[in-house]
Amino acid sequence: MRDIAAGAHDRLVESLRELIRIPSINPPDPAGPELAVARYLAGALGDAGIPATVHQPIAGRGSVVARLRGDGTGGKPLLLLSHLDVVPAPPELWTHDPFAADVEDGWIYGRGAVDMKDLVAMELEVMRLLAGEARAAGRDPATDPIPGLRRDVLFASTADEEAGGFAGAAWLAQEHPEDLRAAAAINEAGGVAVYVGSQRLYPIQVAEKGTTSYRLTFHGTWGHGSMPRADNALVLAAQAIERLAVPSPARLTEVTRRFLDGAIAATSESDPSISRLLRGLATSDPAVSATALTGVCLPIYARALDAMLRDTLSPNVLHGGVKFNVIPGAAVLEIDCRRLPGTSEADMEARVRERLGPELAAVTDIELMIASDALVSPFDDPDGLYPVLEAAIRAGDPAGVPLPVMAPFGTDAKHLVDLGVPTFGFSPLRQPPDETYLERWHGIDERVSIEGLRWGLPVLYDAVRRFCE
Ligand SMILES: [Zn+2]
């Protein structure tokens, strides 16, 4: 493990707290959420001697980009990608003000603490460390190569990820592809320690499921509430919800097979009963479901694993009815479907129709709201970024086991596909075993461990150096 400059960790904690204190909530208020935080980052980069550009495609929607130079002998750049926006945080449910960045018992509380201002601050700190090394060598980080770097390092922190990225990464990819074009990118959602039995696993995100959502409108007959009808649109919607919410059969994808094989090998000697359960999942043994794992890892991880094994459909919004004594003739349901690699949007729509059954489907309009395909970044390339990320984890935690994983959700990685940039979720953190990290995402009392960041920053720095040297 490489040493990093003294003071870097304290600076990281301070900038993360500053970032949390600038609310950047998406969906936005009319003033636009991200510009102030983009300007803060541009200022911090500028103070380190790194010229930064703030792009603003729509008033208030800011994204910030910057570049450090290598000597040009190492190929295309490495991109450090992140997003600036956060989801809303209802303060009445929190024990801390979501935008105060309070510190208590070694935790920093606040919206964005893990999704994802932590990695924004870590990537900023890596840029500052590299610029500092240039200055120490008598070079100007604005124009000269960073000592030891053979390729450029790009920094891009973008708006609008939480609403699809259209005012952020998607816009940048379209209008300023040179700011994103890279040999590979580091992005959110991976490299965080997960405790399974006595083992520490570090799933590194190499794939993500596709997102598809549909709006279903059920057509019944309006009438007087005193004389119930079978084609009350809310009754139709209730039948549909029950049929749609049934789990799909498991299907093992290449990434999930590799993930399970790695986890089975890691636990086979130390935790044989867990290893056996994992083997049951890997062989689609119907007697073993992911929920069986609830006893051996945190329930949130069992749920995530379950979602990696199958296409999912979740009915999430229902609108219907006008008054208590009026039978509704129409109801609208929005469903969130997540597709494994290999399941097309057409396959998913066919599944929705099949679940509804012919009679219900005949009175239902199905409208596609959004669709993005699943993606898998190549992780077997020996010269690619993935083996470097594994090596950095092993250097930071020799007993830890890095593994490729597919996220059950989507990120801005999808906007880099057309630019040919393989993207990996790598936000290295090592927190206590009972921390429900995944539940903090968009959740109550979102927080990050200061010691976790102390472990993660040198690991991220090491990964960047290894790939660029
Ligand atoms: Zn995020």
| Res 228 pLDDT > 70 | yes
What number is the average pLDDT over the span 234-242?
98
> What is the DSSP secondary structure assignment for residue 145, as one 8-state letter?
B
Let me know: does 250 contact 312? Beta carbons within 8 Å: no
What distance in angstroms lies between residue 441's CA and the mean position of ligand 1's atoms? 8
Give the pLDDT confidence score for residue 387 in this predicted structure.
98
Tens digits of per-residue pLDDT, 56-94?
Answer: 999 999 999 999 999 999 999 999 999 999 999 999 999
For residue 29, name the pLDDT band (cuts at 50, 70, 90). low
| Res 296 pLDDT > 80 | no
CA atoms within 13 A on the CB side of 207: 26
Per-residue CA distances from 306 to 251, 281, 411 (Å): 11, 9, 19
Measured from the Cβ of residue 26, the count of other Cβ atoms closer than 10 Å reads 23
Tens digits of per-residue pLDDT, 255-274?
Answer: 999 999 999 999 999 999 99
What distance in angstroms lies between residue 306's CA and the mean position of ligand 1's atoms? 21
Tens digits of per-residue pLDDT, 306-350?
Answer: 999 999 999 999 999 999 999 999 999 999 999 999 999 999 999
What distance in angstroms lies between residue 145's CA and the mean position of ligand 1's atoms? 31
What distance in angstroms lies between residue 117's CA and the mean position of ligand 1's atoms? 9
What distance in angstroms lies between residue 30's CA and the mean position of ligand 1's atoms? 22
Let me know: does 169 contact 415? Beta carbons within 8 Å: yes
Instruction: Indicate the helix (H) or strand (E) that contains 154.
Output: strand 153-158
> What is the DSSP secondary structure assignment for residue 430, as one 8-state letter?
-
| Res 28 pLDDT > 80 | no
Beta-carbon neighbours within 5 Å of ion ligand 1: 115-116, 188
Give the pLDDT confidence score for residue 281 in this predicted structure.
84
What distance in angstroms lies between residue 161's CA and the mean position of ligand 1's atoms? 7
Q: Which CATH superfamily is domain 8-189+411-468 in?
A: Zn peptidases (3.40.630.10)
Give the pLDDT confidence score for residue 282 in this predicted structure.
83
Tens digits of per-residue pLDDT, 346-390?
Answer: 999 999 999 999 999 999 999 999 999 999 999 999 999 999 999
What distance in angstroms lies between residue 78's CA and the mean position of ligand 1's atoms? 20
- Number of helices followed by number of strands (H, E) in the chain: 13, 19
What distance in angstroms lies between residue 188's CA and the mean position of ligand 1's atoms? 6
What distance in Å separates the CA atoms of residue 120 and residue 44, rounded to the nearest whole number? 12
* The CATH fold of domain 208-372: Alpha-Beta Plaits (3.30.70)
Measured from the Cβ of residue 399, the count of other Cβ atoms closer than 10 Å reads 8
Phi and psi based region of residue 372 (left: phi greater than 0; alpha: psi -120 to 50; beta: remaining): beta
What distance in angstroms lies between residue 116's CA and the mean position of ligand 1's atoms? 5
What distance in angstroms lies between residue 20's CA and the mean position of ligand 1's atoms? 14
What distance in angstroms lies between residue 455's CA and the mean position of ligand 1's atoms? 21
Give the pLDDT confidence score for residue 429 in this predicted structure.
97
What distance in angstroms lies between residue 110's CA and the mean position of ligand 1's atoms? 14
Where exactly are the structural domains of the chain?
8-189+411-468, 208-372
Angle at 330 between CA 326 and CA 331, to 5 degrees: 105
Tens digits of per-residue pLDDT, 148-190?
Answer: 999 999 999 999 999 889 999 999 999 999 999 999 999 998 9
Mean pLDDT of the residues in the chain = 95
Tens digits of per-residue pLDDT, 187-215?
Answer: 998 999 999 989 999 999 999 999 999 99
What distance in angstroms lies between residue 97's CA and the mean position of ligand 1's atoms? 20
What distance in Å separates the CA atoms of residue 132 and residue 348, rounded to the nearest whole number? 51
Give the pLDDT confidence score for residue 31 in this predicted structure.
62
The total number of residues written for the chain in this structure: 469
Retrieve residue 267's tokens.
Answer: 């636990």
